Amino acid sequence: MSNRIQIYDTTLRDGAQGEGVSFSPSGKIRLAKRLDAFGVDYIEGGYAASNPADMAFFTDIRKAELSHAKIAAFGSTRRANVAVTEDPGTRALLDAETEVVTIFGKSWRLHVHDVLKTTEEENRAMIGDTVRFVKEQGREVVYDAEHFFDGYRDSPQHAMGTLRAAAEAGADILVLCDTNGGCMPHDIREIVTQVSKAFPTPLGIHAHNDSECGVANSLEAIRAGAIQVQGTINGYGERCGNANLISIVPSLILKLGKQCLADDGLRQLKDVSSVAHELTNHRPNRKAPFVGDSAFAHKAGMHVDGVRKNPASFEHIDPSQVGNDRRILISELSGGSNVFLKAIELGHHLERNSEEVADIRKQLELLEQQGYEFEAAEASFQLMMQKVLKEHKSFFNLDGFRVIVEKRRADEPCISEATIKVSVDGNSAHSVGEGDGPVDALAHALRGALTRFYPEIANVYLTDYRVRILDPEEATAAKTRVLIESSDGTESWSTVGVSENIIEASLEALLDSVEFKLLKLEQAASNTPGDDAGGSPG
């Protein structure tokens, strides 16, 4: 059994088939380069006979200087009753001019009879002819046995016969596909074990996630003797997605002791996941294993105390191994350990049982009784903590504001306009801002008033806005909690505001957002102990 596992990435082809997933031409090249640096062995660039965009990628990627990965073109066997030399799909595979060609064929009699409308004998000939012809052109051939596990359960003889056709024609590897994603891990292991006994040709696994077993099935196949695993970054893919390489890779390395990726590839894991989310315009899954912001987040006081004494007590790996960080959450469940470790994380040197820690905890409890929540608003928590420690410096004062929402005609959109007046060291300024809504208008007005004094905040903008009604039984008099996420293009942070008036709650969160940005700028300029506090606190 090989200890070196090949990583075959199909994000640009199979992943792009997922709902809401789309790559621009430049985005595909950027991701391919990132995957190469990450250390994957194969990058499947697209379906050669599918569309001009995929063929354009194969042309463009030849100009890139990849250091490790091989590019694969994907396509089907020849058509039924068509000579392989005359088959347009096979010709497109060769026209892609890739070092590797991946060919898929039918393993399940249902597909042979109902989809291809041909005979089992012709299906095997289609597989063998295509693999043999492409091999004769000097290409490395990956054979994807589509629906293999369903086909094997239906007829082991037929499914194994299709593999034999590919192997005897010279396929370099036979990849067993759970295309419908419905297999269980014990079935995968049993069948892969049987196949590995029958064929000397190396085996691979291509799993989908329709039963939430894509990662487990891939790992079981590896344990049963497969030496290649196919999947996508973040599990993108059709229906419920493909097996998630972001979970598979660290499991292979850290749990099964297998070798894959570049030397420092594992520490790039979170960044690779983030780049893919950015290119597909998807918000990262906070609860994603290994790379999510919540993957190493601790909230319960007993857990935090345990992590403080020995991180292994509540963490299955060191978060830095996958490029992630530990986070201590602050909430009504927080004990002294939470507050103490959070203070250390944010650059404050306090004693575990100090009066300062007790004061911060009391203020936290008081504010949460009023409806505040700091678990998802760490920037506001840092500002609150500095105020309790009497370390807070007010960068500006809000002297007043006004918001107007006007609809001049029934067929025209609403117009939102906000006016804000602020003062800095006795100097006043006011500004008017317009926006898509009252909160957007307030944000524009606030930036407009303060950039005279702090031009650095001109690039601060809102990235998310969430509202929760805290006591709905009070109807229109109910308290509203507003959570705002802001960014300067490099870092992001979250703040909170609470009021019976949604506009006032929103403005409170906006004010904290700007205060926090100014605090970070001041700390960076003076190189105070808190200048690296929290990294990306949001």
In a domain, residue 292? The reply is no
pLDDT band, very low/low/confident/very high, at 258 (cuts 50, 70, 90): very high
In a domain, residue 343? The reply is yes
Q: What is the pLDDT of residue 454?
A: 94
The yes-or-no verdict on residue 315 having pLDDT over 60 is yes
Tokens 């500095």 correspond to 386
SS3 122: helix
334, 448: one domain: no
226 near 192, Cβ under 8 Å? yes
Q: What is the pLDDT of residue 52?
A: 85
321, 250: one domain: no
378, 402: one domain: no
Tell me the per-residue pLDDT of 202-255, one tens digit each, with 9 for 90 and over. Answer: 999 999 999 999 999 999 999 999 999 999 999 999 999 999 999 999 999 999
For residues 433 and 444, what is the distance between their CA atoms, to the nearest angstrom?
Answer: 5
Neighbours of 146 (CB within 10 A): 23
In a domain, residue 84? The reply is yes
Longest dimension (CA), the chain: 89
Q: Please, what is the average pLDDT of the chain?
A: 90
The yes-or-no verdict on residue 537 having pLDDT over 50 is no
Domain with 401, as residue range(s), is 397-526
142, 41: one domain: yes
54, 155: one domain: yes
402, 379: one domain: no
The yes-or-no verdict on residue 77 having pLDDT over 50 is yes
**Number of structural domains found in the chain:** 3
Tell me the per-residue pLDDT of 15-54, one tens digit each, with 9 for 90 and over. Answer: 999 999 999 999 999 999 999 999 999 999 999 877 788 8
The yes-or-no verdict on residue 534 having pLDDT over 50 is no
50, 143: one domain: yes
In the listed set 215, 244, 261, which residue is the last one of a domain according to the structure?
Answer: 261
In the listed set 368, 388, 408, which residue is the last one of a domain according to the structure?
Answer: 388
CATH code for the domain of 171: 3.20.20.70
82, 222: one domain: yes
70, 89: one domain: yes
Helix (H) and strand (E) counts in the chain: 17, 16
In a domain, residue 287? The reply is no
Tell me the per-residue pLDDT of 158-208, one tens digit each, with 9 for 90 and over. Answer: 999 999 999 999 999 999 999 999 999 999 999 999 999 999 999 999 999
154, 246: one domain: yes
For residues 29 and 45, what is the distance between their CA atoms, to the nearest angstrom?
Answer: 9
Vertex 85, ends 81 and 89: CA angle to 5°? Answer: 75
69, 152: one domain: yes
In a domain, residue 319? The reply is yes
In a domain, residue 307? The reply is yes
Which residues face 431 on adjacent strands? Answer: 420
Secondary element (H or E) of residue 309? helix 301-309
SS3 285: coil
The yes-or-no verdict on residue 474 having pLDDT over 70 is no
534/440: higher pLDDT: 440
pLDDT band, very low/low/confident/very high, at 14 (cuts 50, 70, 90): very high
pLDDT band, very low/low/confident/very high, at 112 (cuts 50, 70, 90): very high
In the listed set 388, 418, 448, which residue is the last one of a domain according to the structure?
Answer: 388
In a domain, residue 275? The reply is no
CATH code for the domain of 401: 3.30.160.270
185, 64: one domain: yes
